[in-house]
Structure 1
């Protein structure tokens, strides 16, 4: 039986040093699973017991940056015009044509019609419903004689509103099957793409842009429905949004439809999304702030090559990070690692939790003088991360969302919410007028229906004949041909001017004037 060899003290010390070199998680080493090399920046690191004061650092220069502002100003500085440059005439005509085509298909006649002015009035009613917090109320209550709102009654009848909602469509049914083979979002892609393009054209964002996700709550049936456990509503349609940090203006957006066939092989989903969202704004020295789903070293390099910086939290399981980021440190201590122009800040925010911030803005990281000794990268991230979250919060406050079993209608509600926010921002930028968002929405809705109210005065006929005119009456009852406020009512009356068959609901009585006032 062989005896165990006893090591000398020198041999034991040498073996411990070899093991320490092999298992080391020090900041100066290189991650074995990645080609990224990190080195410790001792000048920016701190310990919890150090008395650090905030030292301002010179940041990387930003080229060709302007303050946020509008690129397109309407001729009239009224709320309705600012919305109609986002929901432009071409988009409204497209929705009108698709809606009328669906009505003709369902009703099997060619009489049903709707003008663009009436569609605007319909949208105005949807906005008022959201501003009054009535998304969960029974629709009939808005037209109730006791509790209803005069705004609704004066604009259109309840039956007409329900009829437009029933036929509301955003694409042509004849070509839908072919388009769905290549695009799951085909039922709304034309309207959504045009809306986003108008948002991009009308506004120039400032120095900071936030990219994040939005879950629009709905349980409508669609193939790309998402479930996110940490969201308040759990189920909905997910959108990628980019927002200006200063004003919360939505500068770009796209729906998440599942696997993207156009994504480059090997490219992360987060990298692909961020590059698409900020593509119109690259090369201008702006900064992009993201959370740990999007942030990666590859994304930082790709943006830096296009004169755009990145600040964001990083998941500690990323292969490009050194193992030392998982180690526990003294509370409120900071360690800064560098790799090229990128800095990685590891801040111990809680006793058992630290946060990693990747930044290509800060060449060196200063430490604040507060009791938590927060590094400059953390405070900068906290200030610029809120763009999309606040935008989503604003949209929910006066949301036009209402129950619907059709997902295109849910997407249309989201478009209206985002359009109202963007229009409000454009209005304030162009007029310097301080107006609350609720007041802006009510003024907006009133202007949207104004053309329809004016046209109704001429389209709704006079029931009582004027001097020298005789009202024609048929021998048998026929269906009303005007159908503005009815559902195929039968009548014997005809219009004294156009001679259409018209029921009592679709007529306007003459206003009598005395001789003294004539």
Structure 2
């Protein structure tokens, strides 16, 4: 495909019916790409079962154009963009479920308990997993709801939560590297002081004991497990940014579509390496090799069926190589032709000890060939 053709398709591509766009956008801000997005998200959990640890967090698709639900998150590298809730496998960062945040409802009323609602939506269909999330989501009520679905939770807690006892919030006279625990029948809460007058509070429905690491920092097991599994979604942002197909655009549906392609390519890589664990072992650029093979697998069927060779020399060579590799070789008879002017030269296929001269040349490569070598 030429650059001009790609640019024309990029300008023309749409994901909705133009005639019904205004009516749909009145009650659904994601209407311009809703149909594609819903079908894609529906397919995500069908091909991969996440491991015991699942991470729920927010993503930001960088975008600075006009968008009715564009967000500003200064902690993210892009700062401005489209916020997406995501549930990923903590080990492989496979994107198992996603949901675009479209801002407040049409009535303008702010949503209550949004963090709990998001986690319950993202983990719908999971059983027997542990959910790791940050302090935007974690609460005592969320832990109890997840237990009803046979899920456990580990996460940091904001200090303004009413369910926290005052003994865990007080840092006065607390020694550095000390831990305080609070227990209920289903929940364990820990307050850890990494340094004087500063504490971090975490809540877990997975841990039942006041276990502390023997290392110098004396971190509780709850913190160690949280640190080990909290980066599933952040790593997805990292890997999709390393190899991406996105292009500069002023249309937010196209930015979302580019992100769909990036996440799909990474999910495919995860599935492939899980099925073929020994594929290209020892190489640090396995994902790049996979993307190259994926690209060839997608375009080769179209190249093989192509009747006309492109005018662009680079594209023409690629088409010829693919067609030559996929076309079975059949014995053919060369059609020799006499050299112009009746010149006679040594046969270039005969050994040097044979001084066999001929005026016949190959019609393809124009090399001089004798009667013995004129048939391939």
Assess same fold via TM > 0.5: yes
Shift of the 266–446 alpha-carbon distance from structure 1 to 2, 3 Å rule, reads closer
Alpha-carbon distance between aligned partners in 1 of 2:25 and 2:14, rounded to the nearest angstrom? 15
Give the match's secondary structure for 1:315.
coil
Pair 1:316-2:159 in alignment: yes
C-alpha deviation, 1:423, in angstroms: 0.1
Alpha-carbon distance between aligned partners in 2 of 1:287 and 1:196, rounded to the nearest angstrom? 21
- Structure 1 match to 2:344: none
Pair 1:268-2:113 in alignment: yes
Instruction: Summarize deviations over 1:99-140 as a string: whole Å, max 9, x none.
Output: xxxxxxxxxxxxxxxxxxxxxxxxxxxxxxxxxxxxxxxxxx
Alpha-carbon distance between aligned partners in 2 of 1:364 and 1:261, rounded to the nearest angstrom? 46
- Structure 1 match to 2:350: none
- Structure 2 match to 1:449: 299
- Structure 2 match to 1:421: 266
Instruction: Summarize deviations over 1:299-345 as a string: whole Å, max 9, x none.
Output: 01111112111100000111221223332121000000112310111
Instruction: Summarize deviations over 1:150-178 as a string: whole Å, max 9, x none.
Output: xxxxxx22211111111111112122122
- Structure 1 match to 2:242: 397
Q: Which moved more, 1:426-435 or 1:161-170?
A: 426-435
- Structure 2 match to 1:217: 62
- Structure 2 match to 1:352: 197
Alpha-carbon distance between aligned partners in 2 of 1:431 and 1:364, rounded to the nearest angstrom? 39
Pair 1:307-2:307 in alignment: no
Pair 1:372-2:217 in alignment: yes
C-alpha deviation, 1:261, in angstroms: 7.4
**TM-score when scaled to structure 1?**
0.57
Equivalent residue runs for 1:35-46 within 5 Å: none
- Structure 2 match to 1:113: none
C-alpha deviation, 1:443, in angstroms: 1.1
Instruction: Summarize deviations over 1:181-206 as a string: whole Å, max 9, x none.
Output: 22100111111111111111111111
C-alpha deviation, 1:207, in angstroms: 0.9
C-alpha deviation, 1:348, in angstroms: 0.4
Contact 1:215 1:239 in 2 (8 A): yes
**TM-score when scaled to structure 2?**
0.78
Alpha-carbon distance between aligned partners in 2 of 1:225 and 1:409, rounded to the nearest angstrom? 14
Give the match's secondary structure for 1:410.
helix
C-alpha deviation, 1:485, in angstroms: 7.8
Instruction: Summarize deviations over 1:40-63 as a string: whole Å, max 9, x none.
Output: xxxxxxxxxxxxxxxxxxxxxxxx
Shift of the 261–405 alpha-carbon distance from structure 1 to 2, 3 Å rule, reads closer
Alpha-carbon distance between aligned partners in 1 of 2:46 and 2:106, rounded to the nearest angstrom? 27
Alpha-carbon distance between aligned partners in 2 of 1:252 and 1:390, rounded to the nearest angstrom? 15
- Structure 1 match to 2:372: none
Contact 1:343 1:359 in 2 (8 A): yes
Alpha-carbon distance between aligned partners in 1 of 2:253 and 2:215, rounded to the nearest angstrom? 50
Alpha-carbon distance between aligned partners in 2 of 1:220 and 1:485, rounded to the nearest angstrom? 36
Equivalent residue runs for 1:173-322 within 5 Å: 173-260=18-105, 267-281=112-126, 284-322=127-165
Instruction: Summarize deviations over 1:380-407 as a string: whole Å, max 9, x none.
Output: 1111111111111111111222210010
Alpha-carbon distance between aligned partners in 2 of 1:406 and 1:485, rounded to the nearest angstrom? 32
Alpha-carbon distance between aligned partners in 1 of 2:77 and 2:85, rounded to the nearest angstrom? 17
Shift of the 261–378 alpha-carbon distance from structure 1 to 2, 3 Å rule, reads farther
Contact 1:159 1:485 in 2 (8 A): no
Instruction: Summarize deviations over 1:336-375 as a string: whole Å, max 9, x none.
Output: 0112310111000122321111000011121111111111
C-alpha deviation, 1:514, in angstroms: 5.2
C-alpha deviation, 1:413, in angstroms: 1.0
Alpha-carbon distance between aligned partners in 1 of 2:110 and 2:13, rounded to the nearest angstrom? 39
C-alpha deviation, 1:260, in angstroms: 4.8
- Structure 2 match to 1:515: 335
The CA RMSD over aligned residues, in Å, is 2.3
Contact 1:344 1:358 in 2 (8 A): yes
Instruction: Summarize deviations over 1:471-502 as a string: whole Å, max 9, x none.
Output: xxxxxxxxxxxxx989xxxxxxxxxxxxxxxx
Alpha-carbon distance between aligned partners in 2 of 1:229 and 1:385, rounded to the nearest angstrom? 19
- Structure 2 match to 1:32: none
Alpha-carbon distance between aligned partners in 2 of 1:398 and 1:387, rounded to the nearest angstrom? 18
Equivalent residue runs for 1:88-127 within 5 Å: none
C-alpha deviation, 1:259, in angstroms: 2.1
In the alignment, structure 1 segments of 5+ residues that lack a partner are: 1-155, 462-483, 487-507
In the alignment, structure 2 segments of 5+ residues that lack a partner are: 281-285, 313-319, 321-332, 337-374
C-alpha deviation, 1:433, in angstroms: 3.7
**Any runs of at least 4 consecutive aligned residues in structure 1 with deviations exceeding 3 A, and if so which?**
264-267
